[in-house]
Structure 1
């Protein structure tokens, strides 16, 4: 239980400070530290991630760093992908699900290292609105297509692996829609909340159960961490946070692969 409580704080700090990413730690902790079945852990993970993201959204909203219109659109577009991901995960062996999951932290780490080295992490660029016409009445068709495809893909990952998708949303918002990191982090929490709620409903309809004796204390610590993380992000250099988190994610990936892959043979 102590490991779960400590992990809850870490998850919350990363969600509140980086707009996601900490969510990918929740599943392996619930499986390996707490001993939950992978599918049960997936449903519990969605509860922890969704509520923590909603609470962590508050300090970002107060700073005006949440783009509500585009965030809601991104989240709604991801619901279809979340449904497909949830259905696909239901027929996958638990160990295979974890083995596939092990590759996600590597991707997240690579994206974070790349962004940290580029050196634009702290730029507060305002997002461009691809949903509305410009002054000459022209629509950014290419931007709209990218938005739809990216949002659906993030939703698919959310439903399949039981993570909020923030690890993919932040890079997507910065690379596809031109968000600066403060706006990407704040808006990501809105999208993560929507994706987590929709995926939780899909998983619950399939009969998944939740052990609230484990989830409640984990969630309480994650919520506290998310609030603190939202405040700390304005004080700690983004490059330091990103490189440190990327290193930790690589360790999580190697450990998850080491525990799950041998059971496939």
Structure 2
């Protein structure tokens, strides 16, 4: 086995560990790993990321459900508009983005560059959220909002996660806390249902348009599942807040690196 492939599989283990330890962030590592280390183009990388994150999140959902930390009804209700947007964005939007977005002087912004830059911007948002790391859970006293608002928000978040091949846990957790009045720990578990459904349905959109290397993808995913099992176990002994903040700084640096790499 080539050294690059070995490092890639070690990365898969780390992706799972991160998901198990902090309940999100797997796709933030998966896409750069596939693009910069294993040399996949961003379209393939984001597709593979959806499958990896969706499958590992399914394992996480089962674990959280057994602990009573999943609001199934709310998760499924929020999933409906989201998975519609994810599927449509992967099936039609991503495939029809022009190869050259625009050209200014000698600078050409290509489709692949645009996807990675947009991914980096989302990473910046995620890193700020992790670094803030509020110590107190928000005290929510307002009534739940009308479903049509949740439907629109689900469509927007779904479209974003579909474009970048992310599970979107870092977007869904605050949405569930602020809009659905779900406690933080339960919001993390509930978000995994949405991430699982969105990611796997989004990947179905890709299967219809891309050639999938199933042997590699299933091996990478299996190693990530081992990682999430280990991460969930170790999360009992590690401070989630401190870990999340440290990971936030790491993601911030990675986002800056992607921006530099793509736009230099």
Q: Identify the TM-score tier after normalising by the shorter chain.
A: 0.7 to 0.9
Q: How many residues align?
A: 246
Other-structure match for 1:174: 177
Other-structure match for 1:2: 6
Other-structure match for 1:111: 129
TM-score w.r.t. the length of structure 2 is 0.85
Shift of 1:181: 2.5
Contact 1:111–1:171 (8 Å) recurs in 2: no
Other-structure match for 2:100: none
User: Which runs of 5 or more residues in structure 1 are unaligned?
Assistant: 131-139
The correspondence of residues 4-153 of structure 1 with structure 2, limited to 5 A, is: 4-86=8-90, 87-92=92-97, 93-114=111-132, 116=133, 118-120=134-136, 140=144, 142-153=145-156
More off after superposition, 172-181 vs 101-110: 172-181
TM-score w.r.t. the length of structure 1 is 0.85
SS at match of 1:102: helix
Shift of 1:150: 2.4
| Residues 1:243 and 1:204: Cα distance change in structure 2 (over 3 Å) | same
From 157, 163, 169, the counterpart of 1:160: 163
Matched, 1:245 2:247: yes
Separation in 1, partners of 2:113, 2:173: 28
Separation in 2, partners of 1:175, 1:229: 27
| Residues 1:200 and 1:129: Cα distance change in structure 2 (over 3 Å) | farther
Separation in 2, partners of 1:35, 1:89: 19
| Residues 1:13 and 1:129: Cα distance change in structure 2 (over 3 Å) | farther
More off after superposition, 165-174 vs 45-54: 165-174
Other-structure match for 1:135: none
User: Which runs of 5 or more residues in structure 2 are unaligned?
Assistant: 98-110
Separation in 2, partners of 1:194, 1:181: 20
Shift of 1:143: 4.3
Separation in 2, partners of 1:237, 1:179: 22
Shift of 1:52: 0.6
